[in-house]
Amino acid sequence: MLHLRVIVPDGRTDTVCEMLARHPGATNVVVLPGAAREPKGDVVMADVAREAANEILEELRRLGIDHDGSIAMERVDLSLSHAAETAEREAPGHGSDAVVWEELDRQTAEDSRLTWSFVAFLALSTQLAAIAALIDSPILIVGAMVLGPEFGTVAAISYGMIFRDVRRIATAARTLAIGFLIAIAITTVCALVSRWIGVIELSELPKERPLTGFVYKPDRWSFIVAILAGAAGVLSLTADKSSALVGAFISVTTVPAAGNIAVGVALRHWNEVGGSALQLAVNVGGMIIAGVVTLLVQKTLWDLVRKRGVRTPAG
């Protein structure tokens, strides 16, 4: 269930309450007359089945509540209510399959921005990946994958392609490119300094890397894994499954490839630089393709569910 809180301008409260009463996916409606001060109005709260959220948000926006009042929605971790259970049963579809598009829109908009924290996390994860390349450590490779924040920008590009939002695509692509360039540059400088002070030597990068050599040797499996990880990542975002998202992070060789580019440049292993760059491009491209296809399938299936007004198979 989701909890809905709406600040309704004077004169529209009855209309909002009637809309919620008509919808089978809304229940536990509460009205606090005149409770809101900024903006002024009545506060209307309700519990909403996740699968009914899109229709209710569309109705509220049609009434202009997002402009003249306020709409907030948050997840309910525990709901002990027969009325709420009835609303979930009667709303078409399954909550775990539903995509709250407004929520995804806000999330991808936030993830597409170039922020200090994004660059910091990407730089730190790239440096971990560079160390993993130097000592051929798969554990550090996994750690770098988990720490990397780049999947949000990939999801934002996929979302922008589905809804033809050129600005979203451009912003996310810019964030991804600048973020990786800065992370690689920082890691390269660190590797050069380490080489100059004797921490690592010019020949430190192992010629044979049985555990991490895949980082600079892309093949057909690289693209297949990127496709699968991209689909899993988008599904985890839309279904709000953070554990599945971590699994998607661990599957893709983006940050490890960036780290290998940095040490390859610093130690003049140019053959690995080209392979790592191709690995990075293959993984990002595969995830974007998978993200677009996954969101398109979800949107198409959910539109069919809404039109038919029936529950999807439990699976």
Model confidence over 104-137: pLDDT tens digits? 999 999 999 999 999 999 999 999 999 999 888 9
pLDDT band (50, 70, 90) for residue 309: low
3-state secondary structure the chain: CEEEEEEECCCCHHHHHHHHHHCCCEEEEEEEEEEEECCEEEEEEEEECHHHHHHHHHHHHHCCHHHHCEEEEEECCCCCCHHHHHHHHHCCCCCCCCCCHHHHHHHHHHHCCCCHHHHHHHHHHHHHHHHHHHHCCHHHHHHHHHHCCCHHHHHHHHHHHHCCCHHHHHHHHHHHHHHHHHHHHHHHHHHHHHHHCCCCCCCCCCCCCCCCHHHHCCCHHHHHHHHHHHHHHHHHHHCCCHHHHHHHHHHCCCHHHHHHHHHHHHCCCHHHHHHHHHHHHHHHHHHHHHHHHHHHHHHHHHHHHHHHCCCCCCC
Least confident of 45-49, 56-60, 200-204, 296-300: 200-204
pLDDT band (50, 70, 90) for residue 312: very low
What structural domains does the chain harbor? 2-83+91-98 (3.30.70), 103-303 (1.20.1080)
pLDDT tops 80 at residue 202: no
Model confidence over 258-270: pLDDT tens digits? 999 999 999 888 8
The pLDDT score that the predictor gives to residue 86 is 86
First-to-last alpha carbon distance for the chain, in angstroms, is 20
The pLDDT score that the predictor gives to residue 247 is 66
Least confident of 221-230, 249-258, 259-268: 249-258
The pLDDT score that the predictor gives to residue 127 is 95
- Distance between CA atoms of residues 43 and 62, nearest Å: 18
The arithmetic mean of pLDDT across residues 148-168, rounded, is: 94
- Chain-centre distance for alpha carbon 30: 33
Q: What is the token pair recorded at 17?
A: 């309450």
pLDDT band (50, 70, 90) for residue 310: very low
pLDDT tops 50 at residue 68: yes
The pLDDT score that the predictor gives to residue 244 is 62
- Distance between CA atoms of residues 159 and 162, nearest Å: 5
